[in-house]
Chain A
Amino acid sequence: MEGICAIPSRQRIEILSRELAPAALSAEAALLRREIVIALYHASGGHYGGCLSVIDILLALYRCELHVSPDEPHDPERDRLILSKGHSALALYAVLHRLGFWRESLNCYADFVSPLEGHPDMTSVPGVDFSTGSLGQGLSVGVGMALGLRAGDQRVWVVLGDGECQEGQVWEAAMLAASCSLDNLHAIVDCNRLQEWGRRARAADSAPEPVPDQAAKWRSFGWHVIECNGHDFMELLTAFDAAKATRGKPSVILANTVKGRGVPLIELQPVRFHCDSVSEAEHAAILAGMDDYEAC
């Protein structure tokens, strides 16, 4: 199997203005959500919930924040993004595909002959800055990148899951980043407040948070903490600005999200849809529900 060929044209990402961004991003996010659920159906299932909770964060980053180009995916001067919660690979692929990093259909996701590995693979997919999938490692990689790039203007963004923050390595990285005063490193935690199965509290509304008191924990590790609504584009963009304005310490954005956001059937069954497959009828119902959701 061969890697995807980057698009050869001199295409560049259109950076949206803060005034125009929220409405444009909302429309684009709806489109990507639809592409994600269709691709997951083609793949006979996958991580619906986490892809749909993180997609707004990724889209806002790529559309309004990151200095990257599909024309030069390996440009050493680019900003870096690591999707540490690698099980949401399809959300990252959907954004990269939308921005023109490659042309192949998302519907080949995780096929044997496809370069779109089930989890992000930097060796086969242009635009993926680091391979992830074994949870907890991405923030350490981000620390290394931020150390290596600290003499330049590049910034390193790492997107984690709140369940992932149960991994001890996340806190090894948090400690090291603060001790190195890495203010070019920004973490974003997709706080959808659920994980695959949790601590036997099956009802979503009564499940304990994967990592309680996240803000206090990050602060105690020496990070600047920003909280926002992870589905409100204006709040996200404001949070990005606040993160970049932080000096002398790394910053983390705790983005409050909804697992399965944008798909009523999945929002109602977030534990089931951490990773699951659907029947043809359910798939049709999911798409119909999205129509209604968008119409509202």
Chain B
Amino acid sequence: MKLADHAGAVLARLAVDDARIFVLDGDLADSDGAIHFAERHPGRFLMAGIAEQGMISTAAGMAAVGARPCVFSFSAFLCYRGYDQIRVCLSQAEQPVILVGSHAGGLSGRNGKTHAAPNDLALMLSLPGIRVWAPADFADVEFALEQSMRNPMPTYIRLPRKQFALGENLRGNAAAIRWIRPKRPLTIVSTGLATRWAEAVAERLSETGMDVGVLHCLELAPQSGLGRQLEGVQQLISLEDHCCFGGLGALLAQHCPGVPLRCFGWPANFVGKSGADEEVLEYYGLSTQKLAQRIALASTAVDRA
């Protein structure tokens, strides 16, 4: 089950007690999770056509008259096709529309590069007043949606294409920031799907005697607690299903000045690629084995310095 499917189901549940909730979809409901809302609340669902720009502005108009619209599509089509509409109708006009982007990040399966969104965070984090969530499990999805409904502001929820077994959650309770493994001098900070990668890498490194902390950052913006949580850490590794520019790594550099930081994610020349997740991750150095090697090397380099 994709996390986006869970998002549609959670919204359907929340909508039972909140008549303001409405879902718009850009004709991908069976792929982006909106179908679970549509089936339960057909009168509060609109297939707005393959027209993402219009759909986002339409949602903003609904929000301006009191609704709580949620817009579903693939992240690439929301963030790239609809960026000016997000800029004007959501960010500048301060309208509490929730964008639910499925297929976020660099892993787009057979769809390939046109459907990948490896720099969506750079776009969304640089817009003022947008709340940004990157869930890694089902509990995160519920937490993000419930919090977003309580605090109306423009919101972007980025969700990966990857399927998980229902209930396959990370350890600990969902929160804006969650320690997956206790804080250590060397700590990996990750977000979204990459926290799954971080968990596996930390496990692999521990088998070699290297103990690293893992902090999962669910809420990327607004950001207030990251620096405080990481006090005492001697070296930071950022790991994200995003290009190494303008995403979590940039946030860490801003909030943890002076702490040595190495950023891991998609390289600057990555535009997306068709293929199985494992093949793509291996090629770009983001498989568990390669990440473990790269992080161990980075740690050694800092030790020498």
Residues of A at the B interface (CB closer than 8 Å) are: 76, 80, 121-123, 129-134, 137-138, 140-149, 168-169, 172-173, 175-176, 179-180
Contact = CB atoms under 8 A, between A and B. Distances in A.
A169 B83 CA distance: 13
Contacts of B292: none
Interface in B44-96: 46, 48-49, 51, 53-67, 69, 84-85, 87-89, 92-94
B47 to A, nearest CB: 9
Given A144-B64, A147-B61, A172 B93 contact: no
Nearest to B49: A176
A144 B53 contact: no
| Most B Cβ at <10 Å: residue of A80, A138, A141 | A141
B93 A169 contact: no
A131 B57 CA distance: 11
A110 B48 CA distance: 36
Given A148-B67, A176-B49, A140 B62 contact: no
| Most B Cβ at <10 Å: residue of A123, A140, A176 | A140
A149 B62 CA distance: 8
Nearest to A132: B88
Contact of B64 (A134, A141, A168, A179): A141
B66 A144 contact: no
Contact of B85 (A121, A137, A146): A137
A140 to B, nearest CB: 3
Contacts of A148: 61-62, 64-67
Given A169-B53, A175-B49, A176-B54, A76 B66 contact: yes
B296 to A, nearest CB: 48
B256 to A, nearest CB: 33
A175 B49 CA distance: 9
Nearest to A152: B65
Q: Which 5 A-B pairs have the closest CB atoms?
A: A144-B61, A172-B54, A140-B57, A141-B61, A172-B51
Given A140-B53, A176-B49, A176-B51, A76 B65 contact: yes
Contacts of B56: 140
18 contacts: A80-B64, A80-B65, A123-B92, A131-B89, A140-B58, A141-B57, A141-B60, A141-B89, A144-B60, A148-B65, A148-B66, A148-B67, A149-B65, A169-B54, A173-B58, A176-B54, A179-B49, A180-B46
Contacts of A175: 49, 51
Interface residues of B, number: 28
Nearest to B97: A144
B87 to A, nearest CB: 8
A144 B85 contact: no
A172 B94 contact: no
B66 A133 contact: no
Interface of B: 46, 48-49, 51, 53-67, 69, 84-85, 87-89, 92-94
Given A133-B88, A144-B63, 10 more contacts: A137-B53, A144-B58, A144-B59, A144-B62, A144-B65, A148-B61, A148-B65, A169-B54, A176-B54, A179-B49
Nearest to A137: B57
Nearest to A140: B57
A173 B89 CA distance: 15
A123 B21 CA distance: 23
Contacts of A123: 92-94
B51 A130 contact: no
Nearest to B60: A141
A176 B24 CA distance: 12
A134 B63 CA distance: 19
A141 B58 contact: yes
| Most B Cβ at <10 Å: residue of A122, A132, A169, A179 | A169
Nearest to A131: B93
Contact of A147 (B46, B84, B87): B46
B54 A173 contact: yes
B49 A140 contact: no
Contacts of A137: 53, 57, 84-85, 88-89
B151 to A, nearest CB: 18
B61 A172 contact: no
A144 B97 CA distance: 12
Contacts of A169: 51, 53-54, 57, 85
A131 B93 CA distance: 6
A122 B62 CA distance: 15
Contacts of B46: 147, 180
A47 B81 CA distance: 29
A129 B64 contact: yes
A147 B58 contact: yes
Contacts of B59: 144
B29 to A, nearest CB: 16
A122 B89 CA distance: 10
A133 B51 CA distance: 20
A144 to B, nearest CB: 2
Contacts of B93: 122-123, 130-131
Contacts of B55: 140
A203 B230 CA distance: 65
Contacts of B60: 130, 141, 144
A172 B84 contact: no
A49 B147 CA distance: 47
A137 B87 CA distance: 11
